[in-house]
Structure 1
Amino acid sequence: MSLWLPSAPCTPRACVETGTGSTAAVPRAVLRLTLVVTLVLAGIALSPLGWGRIPAGWVRRWCRAVIRASGVRVRITGTAPPTGGLLLVANHISWLDIPLLAAVRPARMLAKTEIRRWPVAGALAARGGTLFIERDRLRALPATVAHIAGELRAGAAVAAFPEGSTWCGRAQGAFHRAVFQAALDAGVPVQPVRIRYLSHAGGAASTAPAFVGDDSLLASLWRVATAHGLVAEVDVRPVLPPGAFPDRRTLARAAQQDDPDGQDHGAIARSTETRGHVWAGDTCAGHAPAGAATRPHRPRVPAQTRRTVCRDSA
């Protein structure tokens, strides 16, 4: 793994809520996971049809069903253009983000190439039209951007998480700019999407769905299934039209501004960006990120900023 890849200081031990469920919730969690597995198997059965052959309405309903089966209620505000080339960009917290974006508009996801080798999920992702990128090969980046731009010109929707890493939801990384170059080259609009998870409707921000650091998918699935009252809020922001921004830097900043909790975490993270790494302060929730001693040099951030980024955003 390259030292220059984007990373977050969030870890399961430091940032993720545990104990959200009780022993009495175990049977309910088992039922939820059974429903999720059943729906995923149904998706696998349909996947040989290939990308673009399954009606978009079916995909949206299937994605909503997977999220709802896991015990998470969904609230989506705003809409995305139903047709035409479109780059959807969102902050990244959980594996739930992927079906949430597809519920807004089915799109070809960008994913690291390692996912292609995952059992079952890798084949399903490939058949679903996922665009795999080699994140640790900088020389491959221009060809990757050109390939994405070609898909956008052809009228496809492409979904990406420009932070390059998952964050706990109480902190957020800066949007990296490469994928925005593809939208500029293709002359297509950008659709910003904001995702956050609440402990209940109108409640505090929850980190229970976060899938960060060395967290395992099984542990994350169980944590979500045993939680009570989780709500996923998806805010589809106004489209950023092509030609409205002169370069990818300003386009990336425009796509990230106006965070749901009223704070521009991207601006805070950008102030600590160095050589491809983004840090929201030295620690998150008081714990140093694993491997911090081997990271490239990063400037110090005032304690006031660190407290602002890592506190509960609600």
Structure 2
Amino acid sequence: MNGPWDVSSDCTPHCAVHAAPRATAPVRARRGAVFAHTVRRALTDGERLADPVRLRGHAAALLDALGIRVEGATGLSAGNGPGTLVVANHISWLDILALLAVEPVTLLAKREVGGWPVVGGLARRAGTHFIDRTHPRRLPDTVRQVAELLGSGRSVAVFPQATTWCTAAQGDFRRATFQAALDAGAPVRPVTLGYTQQGRPSTAAAFCGEDTFAGSLRRVLAARELTIRVTAHPALTAVGTDLDRRELAALAARAVRGGPQAVAVAAARRAPAPVASVPASPAHV
């Protein structure tokens, strides 16, 4: 725990289990070499990495180097006007790459992510906004900044669970960033990130507890047929309703966890002009 605003997960590295036989040593070695080369190529882009087209390309290339497929959504933002607050469950450092490979939105991440090997450097160059959770008094300023980004038309992706869990069903949604969506009149896009191996649910990519990046990377390199499914649920909006941030967060959490009532309840309380949504598709990104 880094402060009173921090979150502790019940998950540990023991939660990370392969759902398929591990890749052979030659395959792991080849993936590692290609991944290292792809990381160096991305980092040499420097400030140019913030360009959406280049950022998306690098994220997709890094996942491809690891032998990982991304399936599902082809976009995350919901229509014109304010940007979209994209809220997703958090399982792995791979979540960031998966979201960026679908759509290069602005990321809001805990300060510790900036120090992660590989992902931290990419996140900084991509213009990620980092939260210092050791100083709760800075929260209102963070909410204001996110609201300004959304109001300017930029979509922002956040992980409301505030830490990683081994499945999408765990972890409460923190409500603060939902206030930013309310202040900006922005839609909220719930997104579920799920990991499978050979079609079976897998926790091999989970990055939890006292796990290290090196240990997690070794598991990922050994994961056979690892696929990340990005499911973009219908957008939620509180415009013209009496929804507050607590209720909006609860609806988003329910959608991310697959609750059948989430969309119906949200639709019943929407403004007369519904927010456009980007349906998930089976296209391979």
Q: Same fold (TM over 0.5)?
A: yes
1:44 aligned partner, one-letter code: L
Does the 8 A contact of 2:20 with 2:197 survive in 1? no
Q: Between Structure 1 and Structure 2, how many residues are aligned?
A: 257
Does the 8 A contact of 1:167 with 1:212 survive in 2? yes
Q: Which runs of 5+ in 1 are unaligned?
A: 265-314
Q: Which runs of 5+ in 2 are unaligned?
A: 262-285
Q: Secondary structure at the match of 1:257?
A: helix
Structure 1 residue 34 corresponds to structure 2 residue 29: no
In the TM superposition, what is the alpha-carbon distance from 1:118 to its structure 2 partner? 5.1
Going from structure 1 to structure 2, the CA distance change for 1:28 and 1:220 (only over 3 Å counts) comes to same
Q: Secondary structure at the match of 1:38?
A: helix
The answer for the alignment partner of 2:3 in structure 1 is 2
Counterpart Cα distance in 1 of 2:13 and 2:253: 25
Counterpart Cα distance in 1 of 2:227 and 2:116: 28
TM-score by structure 2 length? 0.81
Structure 1 residue 249 corresponds to structure 2 residue 250: no
The answer for the alignment partner of 1:182 in structure 2 is 180
1:11-160 residue pairs with structure 2 within 5 A?
11-13=12-14, 15-17=15-17, 21-22=21-22, 25-49=24-48, 51=50, 54=51, 56-77=52-73, 79-81=75-77, 84-117=82-115, 121-160=119-158
TM-score by structure 1 length? 0.74
Q: Structure 1 residue aligned with 2:167, among 152, 165, 169?
A: 169
Q: Structure 1 residue aligned with 2:213, among 208, 217, 223?
A: 217
Structure 1 stretches of 4+ with a deviation exceeding 6 A read none
Post-superposition Cα deviations, 1:111-132, rounded to whole Å, max 9, x if no partner, equal 2223445566544322211101
2:152 aligned partner, one-letter code: A
Does the 8 A contact of 2:66 with 2:221 survive in 1? yes
Counterpart Cα distance in 2 of 1:19 and 1:46: 36
Identity among equivalent positions (%) equals 41
Going from structure 1 to structure 2, the CA distance change for 1:142 and 1:212 (only over 3 Å counts) comes to same
Counterpart Cα distance in 2 of 1:42 and 1:74: 21
In the TM superposition, what is the alpha-carbon distance from 1:9 to its structure 2 partner? 0.3
Does the 8 A contact of 2:5 with 2:136 survive in 1? no
Q: Secondary structure at the match of 2:153?
A: coil
RMSD: 2.4
In the TM superposition, what is the alpha-carbon distance from 1:141 to its structure 2 partner? 0.7
